[in-house]
Each structure stands twice: as C-alpha cells, then as structure tokens.
Structure 1
Amino acid sequence: MNIVWFKRDLRLSDHAALKAAIEDGESFLMLYIWEPNIMADSHYSPRHWNFVQQSLNDLNRQLSEANPLLRITILQGNAKEIFHAIHQKYQLKKVFSYEETGLRITYDRDKELSLFFKETAIEWREFQTNGVVRKLKNRDNWAEYWKAQMQKPWDVPNWTKLRGDCLVFDESNEIYKRFLPNDYLLKDANNFQPGGETYAHRYLQSFLSERAKNYSKHISKPLESRKGCSRLSPYIAWGNLSIRQVYQYAQNAKKKVAHRRDLDNFISRLHWHCHFIQKFEMEDRMEFENLNRGYDDIERIDNEYFIERWQSGLTGYPLIDACMRCVCQTGYLNFRMRAMVVSFLTHQLFQHWKTGAVFLAQQFLDFEVGIHYPQFQMQAGVTGMNTVRMYNPVKQSQDHDPNGIFIKTWVKELENCPENFIHEPWKMTPMEQELYNFRLGENYPFPIIDLEEASKKAKEQIWGIRKQQLVRVENKRILNKQVVRNRKR
C-alpha cells in the first residue's frame, strides 16, 4: 500500500501528492498525524490545532459526500513509529507528501523519516510547496520560476482514475487502536476564523468580488483591514488554499471587476509571501540566530516587567495595547500593526526579538515560520541590509485610528477618554481627569517608557553597529545569497 501524508496542505483541490497517489494505481491511505512533540512546541497554541481539526473535519465531510467510503485517517503519535507500524503490517511502498518549510523540530523529523524510508526501501515522493525551491543556492532566477509555477494548471486529483482501494483505518484496526487520536476542538473558538477548504473559498470569493475594492485604502488600518484585507493568510498557512489557486483566481477576477489596481497590489503580496518563505528555506537558522551575525554584539537584557506588559497590552500606549489584546483574542492583526508591535518591543523596549517571536507565533492563527522569522528580524533591525523601521505608536495611532474606534474597541478602560486625548491620555491634566472621571494610573497605566528617549537610544545602538566590519561582511554574504545578482536597471 501507499500513503498520502497530509501536513500543511489541508485541501483536496490542487493537490499534487493526492493526484500522484491516485495515478500510481496502488491502494493508498490518506493520513494525518497529530504529533505530540510538535503540538507541544512553544510556537503553537490550541487555536492552531483547533483550526487544523476544523480543516480535517471539512475534508472528511467533502470526501464522504463524494463517496461514503472515503476518509482521511487521523492518528496520534510519533510519525516514525506510526510509519514503522504501518510498514510492518502492510508493506508500505510509497509515501506522497508536500515539502514543508517548517520549524527545526519538523525539519529534524523529516530528516529522520528520510533515513528510515531509505533503510526500508520506501519511496518518499515530496512535492514542491507554492514555488519554494529546496536546496536553492541563490535567487538569480527564482522570481521568474515562481511566476511560471503560478501560471501552471492545477494538480487536480482525478478520482475516476482510482484503480486501487482508498483505505481507511477505523476503530477495529489495531494500528488505529494503538495510535488513537484525540479531539482538539476548543470550547470557545468564536473569535477565530473557522478552518477548512470550504471556508477558505468563501473568504476568497467575497474578497475578490467585493472586499478587495478597499484593499489598498484599508491595508494599514487596524480596524478597517479586518474586512478590507483578504483574511486568507490562515487558509494559505495551513494549506486550505494553494498560492497558485489564489493567484489564478485573482488574475481572473481582474477581468470582471473595477478594482483591478487593488487586486494587482494583492497579487504582488502573494509573491512576497513566497519570497520570505524562500529566504527562510535557504537560511533556517533565523529561527534561532540573527540573520546578520554582526548584530550578535548588541546586548539586550531581558526585562520581565516590560515583556509582561507588552504581552498583556498594558504598556500605556493605547494603539500598542489595543493591537496586543486584539491579536491575543482573535488571532489576527494586519501587517503594519504587527510590524509596529514588534518594533516597539525590540526598539523602544529594547528586548530580544526571540522573546516576542515565540509569543506572537502562539497568537497568530496564520503562523507561518517562513514568513514569521524573516519578518521579525527585519522589523527588529538585525538583518543589516534592510532599513531600520522604528514605528512611533502615537503617530501610527493618529494616522490609522484617528478617532480611536479600534483603540476603544479593545481597550475598554479608554471608552470614556475624550477623542482629543485618545492617542496620548497621559497629557490630560489632573483637572481634566476629574472632569472625565478618568484617573491615569488607576483606569489606565502610565506609559512604561519615555518614547522619545527610548527611540533615540535604540537608534544610536542599531545604526551605530551597522558601520562595523562584521555587519558589512555579513551584508555582502546575505545579498549574494538572497538577492538577485547583476540586476538590470
């Protein structure tokens, strides 16, 4: 028998591994494995596994509607032990799956499985994910290759070609009994986007046909972006949609709608999505180390008070606090606000990016390691080759939430704060505080730092080290590997 191993590709359409397994002609098992060591990794939280559980439920619903005998078998345990047990009983021949640009823990698992498959003469056929190329030496032709991949026809599984059996392990199977799975649905998941291929296509169609008309206008707004942005990121991160599907749907939608420029802006970000994952694929030590080793000399001392206040949304800076509370409760925050809270942590609070990276990975429903760490390091200013982006949370608040609606939605303590003080409540005089029945330090905290002073100190540290020899040497190395060389003007 063969196996189609589902990981972060939780869909039935445009699925190369499933298509290949059907065309191979052998009986096969569709398998998903709950892996306890990965589920316990510090980057994940129940919201992620809830999304996966919903996605699996949706796939099995679709399969059963097409054929009551079709189902993805879900097991729980160590992946190698499960494959070994199946091989012993059924003489496993081939495993079909997608490549995964993941955490070090999943990479080590895949290396272990690769060795096991070679030792047991099991053929492991891995398929490329979203145009990300494994073992790529440089980026010279990657952009052209990616675009060509996006324009190719979908890999559509043709169930009419199924010649072998599509196997299912149920309660009577000894392997199922040995690796019995748990149910990971949360008790209260109403604040999070629902998982599944069906919902993914609903979000996609509503965005392309209607919501995208405000995409460029609302992309930076913390409130309006919740509808004006695509909200497809969790569906892409967990594979309910392929990037190629989204790319082609968007290109086709441009022929039918008036908001073509907005869709062009959106399509360009699909490229950037894969660009960052490719960057991580080529240098995955970013999970643990500064991309530019020259920044290792910056000494950052953990301040538990700062970290706890930032995580809890109690910094005294209204937009920072609103964003942190929002993402913790809903799993979503638009790109600019993500960049701002990371900048505040790593620059103004001068804490190490790793502390924030793990915490926000737990919060982001769309956690995608290949985007998460390159973006985190870029916003923290430790890549050496990117402009240091130091966001002023007061200015961002004034520019993107001028009336404080988003702030008041998430920071209930400021509901009665007058609009002219909503961005800087600490400027209220004692008399004004009495007038509005608002007491700074009681209803809402004082700012935990002096913004101007902290920003100045961070700029001196980060810009100062850019001049050092090691930073410059590392810049050349990174550019040679990650940027197209001899680029024509």
Structure 2
Amino acid sequence: MNSSKEHINVVWLKRDLRLEDNEAISNALETGKPTLLLYVFEHILLNDDHYSERHFNFIKESLRDINQSLQSYDSKVLSVTSDIQSAFNLIQEYYKVDTIYSHVETGLLVTYNRDKEFARFCRNNLIDWVESKNNGVERGLVDRDNWFDNWEAYMEKDLKVFHPKENQLLPLEKIQSLESVFTVTDLETPNNTSFQKGGSTTAWIYANSFFESRHHDYMFNISKPEASRSSCSRLSPYIAWGNISIRQVYQKGLKIKNNSKDTRHIGAFLSRLRWQAHFIQKFEMEHTMENASVNKGYHKLKKSISQDYQRAWKEGKTGFPLVDASMRCLIETGYVNFRMRAMLASFFTHILWQPWQAATTHLSQQFLDFEPGIHFPQLQMQAGETGINNLRIYNPTINGLKYDPEAVFIRKWVPELSKLDTPFVHEPYLMTEMEQTFYDFKLGEDYPNPIVDIKENRKRASDILWNMKKDPEVLRESLRILKRHTISDRSRMLRND
C-alpha cells in the first residue's frame, strides 16, 4: 500500500441530502480529518422499477443546493454514476480512506443487500464504516418495547451544526481531479415541471410558511384534495430525501406550538411525524413486506390480473371522476394527500380486485416523496391484508361529494367534465341521453363509462376479506404482528402534542 496517500474520511450521502443536523457529516468532521462528501447515482437504483426520473431530478436539485452552500468552503459533493464498491475502489487509488460515515438506510431489498456486501468490502479493505441512526429508526429490534421513549429522546437531542474546520472539506481542486477519473453525473434538471424542487433551502421555505400561517386550517383541510395542497405542510419529499430531518421539523413544531394559542393543528401535525417513524420502523423490522403481505395468512388470497383495469387506473380513465382526478394530479405533480392515496390503493385492490403488488411500482414512480418504509406498509394496510387494521373500502363518489363538494379538484384534473353541472361532474354515468345532448357531452367518448360495477365489486371484496379475518392462519399471524410491532401505549402515538 502506498503510505504517501493522504488519509481522508468519506461521507456517503444517501437519503440524507442536507448539511445541517446530519450526524454522518458531524461525526466525520469531529475527527478533524480531511473529508470528502460523496453521492453515488447507483446503477441498482437507476435501473430499479420503483424509481423514476422525478426522483433523480429531486436528488440532483438537492445536491446543487448543497453545493451552493459549500462554495464558501471551496468544496462540493463528488456526484458520480457508478456502483458503490467501484466508486470507493477508484477513490482509494488516490486516497487512503480511513472511515466511511453514512446513515442507516431503510430502503428496498436491493439496498439492504448492497449494504451487506458493502460491509464485507469495508472489512476486506480495512475501512471502518460508521452508520448513524436515521430519524430515530433503529436497526435490529425484535419488538417495540421502549421504542417510543427512545424515539422521543432522539427527537429532543441537540441539532447537529454544520461547522467544518478551515480547509477540512476536500477542496474543489482535488475533487475536480477525482472527477477526471469518474463518470460525473450532470446535475442539471428541467425547469418547466409541476414538481416541488429539491433542496434544504426550498424545504425551509415550505416549513416556515407552514408553521407561520398555513397550519391554521391543517385539520380542517387535511382530507380535501384541493385545499390540502396548501394547508398541509408539503414537507414529505424533503423528509423522504433528507433535505430536512424529522428532528429539525419536530423541534421547530414544538417551539411554535409552545408559543402559540393555536395548538391543535400543530399538535396534529407532530403526531403524524410519530406515525411516519412508526411505519418506517415496522418496515425496517420486517422487510419482506416489499413483496408479500406481512400477514402470511393472506398469501392464499388469489386475484385475477386484468391489464385493462390496471391500464385504466394508471392513466386516470376508470370512469370514476375522483379516482381519475387523483391519478392525473399525482402523475403531473407527484403529490396528492393521504386520503386520495388511500382511495387510489383501495380502488385498485378492492374495487378492481387487483393484487397490491401490481400497484407498487406505478405509485412509487409517481410519488415524489417515495419512501419505502411508508410505501409498502401503507399499501398493505389499504389493501386490507394486515389482519390487524380496520378494513376500509373507499367509495370515490361519496368521498368526492364530501371532500370536493363543488368539484373544484375534479374539474381541474378532469377538464372533460368541467362544463357539466356539479352533480354530473361527480356522477357523469347518471346522465340520460337527453342530458348528454343538452351538454354536448357523450359518455364513453368524451369520458369513459365506469369500468366496473362498484356496488357489486365492493360487496365481493368486503365479503371475502371479512371472512378471511376469521381464518386461523390470519388470526395467528395477527397475534404475531401485534406482539412484534405494537407500541404498548398507543395513546402516546395518538395524542396531539
């Protein structure tokens, strides 16, 4: 080994694309050694069906934002396209890597397997790999005893401040030399999209506006598909990709709440941060949820595949206006609120009677805030295949009338219905031939007929799934799941404080 090589630390950035309150960066800087910040656009993720261009553009915007902040330190993130072991092999040709710092990633099975292989790589190359807890989620738990206490304690810790010593970050000149031997990733992204832009700078614009004013109608509008777009925090993509830590948001929210008379809405928001961590912890402890129902009793449930049904759902052409508006909005903007997401999943799995696994990649590709630890547990819960949650089969017409009564959201995203009177916007299939003539509108041409009989299909799903909850294997698995994943004092999760 060439002893003349400069010794450095490397911070491997993944879903923690920020400088502040980043324990991996803080731990590296505390050693005093020269430090390289690295992001690798890995082939295993570039080629994974769960990801799409919108995700990688968000990552690129986040990296540009970090690089803007690093200009005053004469440094930037080395951003390359490679697999992770090849990237470190190249770096080691020029530097002696002593320690790699990163956060534990609760990701897909491919990233979990990659991490196991990378741990062997580090051992073989005499590199220490130090992983930090990510947003309070813990690896290696067998049950949830004391989990909530530990999570709260983590949230109350002091925030990590980004404060490198002079010349501690690897300078631009040395990073540019490394770039000459790598496939450097172009960080430019399209400007003309409807997606939220990545980066901590933008994350704090959303956070500050929410805590200053937008939260005032949070609970009133949380389920409304149009009003929620401004009344909800809209921080989910920034949390998912780590532009902002949950600890930063949690502490900011507590501070606002403790100094405000308007505590209900902030408290409700903070309780959802707890639930977010709860679901990711559940996935961390049982990663098989990515491909199979967590309750093994539902593995015997068989559904017929209909490519026509699935295509209509993916394209927003099912003949059910709120379903179609939600899907089209999601495709265009990367966001719909929680209730609309639940309705899309429920409609696919219950009304169309399709397996939830067939919805995973389409939805993950559309969700700008795709977070594996939320994605798979929520899909299974909405599909009614956990055995421990209430069965919810959403009726899109009832939800439309309740949460979009004037059909503002539907008209916006299904413009072919915009000229109809509101009752027909919600239920165009009730129009008579005469009414269609009056509106110069042809059902089946201007807008699809419903692709299924919702009452008949809803009853089928309800009957089958309620009966399955009594199945001995489903019951045994339900007890196992409750023992492994249930928090002893659920009231603490539900409280609005």
User: What TM-score do you get using the length of structure 2 for normalisation?
Assistant: 0.95
Q: 1:51 aligns with which of 58, 63, 74?
A: 58
Say if 1:3 and 1:96, in contact at 8 Å, map to a contact too. yes
- Matched to 2:52, the amino acid is S
Cα pair 1:26 1:163 within 8 Å, conserved: no
Matches within 5 A, 1:50-69: 50-64=57-71, 66-67=72-73, 69=74
CA distance in 2, matches of 1:40, 1:407: 34
**Separation in structure 2 between the aligned mates of residue 218 and residue 25 of structure 1, nearest angstrom:** 49
For 1:195, the equivalent position in structure 2 comes to: 198
- Does the alignment pair 1:415 with 2:415? no
Q: Which residue of 1 aligns with 2:464?
A: 461
Change in 2 beyond 3 A, CA 1:459/1:215: same
C-alpha distance in structure 2 between counterparts of 1:367 and 1:325, whole Å: 17
Correspondence for 1:119:
124
Rounded to whole Å, the distance in 2 between the matches of 1:419 and 1:241 is 41
Mapping 1:377-388, distance limit 5 Å: 377-388=380-391
Encode CA deviations 1:230-269: one digit per residue, 9 max, x unaligned.
Answer: 0000000000000000000001111343421100000000
Residue 486 (structure 1) shift: 8.6
- Matched residue type, 2:422: E
1:169-248 → structure 2 map (5 Å cutoff):
173=177, 175-183=178-186, 185-248=188-251
- Paired residue secondary structure (2:193): coil
1:110-139 Cα distance to aligned partner (Å, 9 max, x none): 111100101111000110000000001100
Question: Shift in Å at residue 412 of structure 1?
Answer: 0.9
Report whether the alignment pairs 1:27 with 2:34. yes
1:396-436 CA-to-partner distances (Å, cap 9, x unmatched) read 00000001110000001101111122111111111111111
| Structure-1 separation of matches of 2:252 and 2:176 | 43
Q: Is residue 318 of structure 1 aligned with residue 321 of structure 2?
A: yes
Q: What is the CA distance between 1:163 and its match in structure 2?
A: 7.1
Name 1:89's counterpart in structure 2. Answer: 94
Relative distance call for 1:165 and 1:337 in structure 2 (3 A) is closer
- The answer to whether structure 1 residue 6 and structure 2 residue 13 are counterparts is yes
Partner secondary structure for residue 124 of structure 1: strand
Contact 1:55 1:196 in 2 (8 A): yes
Equivalent residue for 1:334?
337
1:185-239 CA-to-partner distances (Å, cap 9, x unmatched) read 4435420001000000010000001000010000000000000000000000000
1:164–1:240: structure 2 CA closer, same or farther, 3 Å change rule?
closer
In 2, are the aligned partners of 1:2 and 1:95 still within 8 Å (CA)?
yes
Q: Matched residues in 2 for 1:113 and 1:171: separation?
A: 23
Shift in alpha-carbon separation, 1:486–1:262, aligned structure 2, 3 A: closer
What letter corresponds to residue 467 of structure 1 in structure 2? K
- Cα deviation, 1:2-36, whole Å, max 9, x if unaligned, reads 10111111111111111111110111111111112
Residue 147 of structure 2 corresponds to 142
CA–CA separation in structure 2 for the residues paired with 1:210 and 1:311? 35
Q: 1:268 to 1:354 in 2, by over 3 A?
A: same
Aligned length: 485
Q: Is 2:21 aligned against 1:17?
A: no
Paired with 1:15 and 1:488, the residues of 2 have a C-alpha distance of 30
Distance 1:163 1:422, change over 3 A: closer
Q: Is the 8 Å Cα contact of residues 60 and 189 (structure 2) preserved in structure 1? A: no
Q: Shift of residue 86 of structure 1?
A: 1.5
1: distance between equivalents of 2:208 and 2:244? 12
Match for 2:81: what amino acid?
A: Q
Q: Is the 8 A contact 1:197 1:240 kept in 2?
A: yes
Report if the CA contact (8 A) 1:72-1:168 is conserved.
no
- Confirm or deny: 8 A CA contact 2:61 2:187 kept in the other structure: no
Deviates more, 1:412-421 or 1:266-275: 412-421
CA RMSD of aligned residues (A): 1.6
TM-score if structure 1 supplies the norm length? Answer: 0.96
**Counterpart of 2:438?**
435
- Is the CA contact (8 Å cut-off) linking 1:46 and 1:184 kept in structure 2? no
Following TM superposition, by how much is the alpha carbon of 1:488 offset from its aligned partner in structure 2, in angstroms? Answer: 9.7
Residue number in structure 2 paired with 1:78 = 83
Q: Which amino acid aligns with 1:19?
A: S
Deviations 1:299-348 (Å, cap 9, x if unpaired)? Answer: 11110000000000000000000000000000000000000010000000
The answer as to 2:413 corresponding to 1:404 is: no
* Corresponding residue SS for 1:236: helix
SS in 1 for 2:45: helix
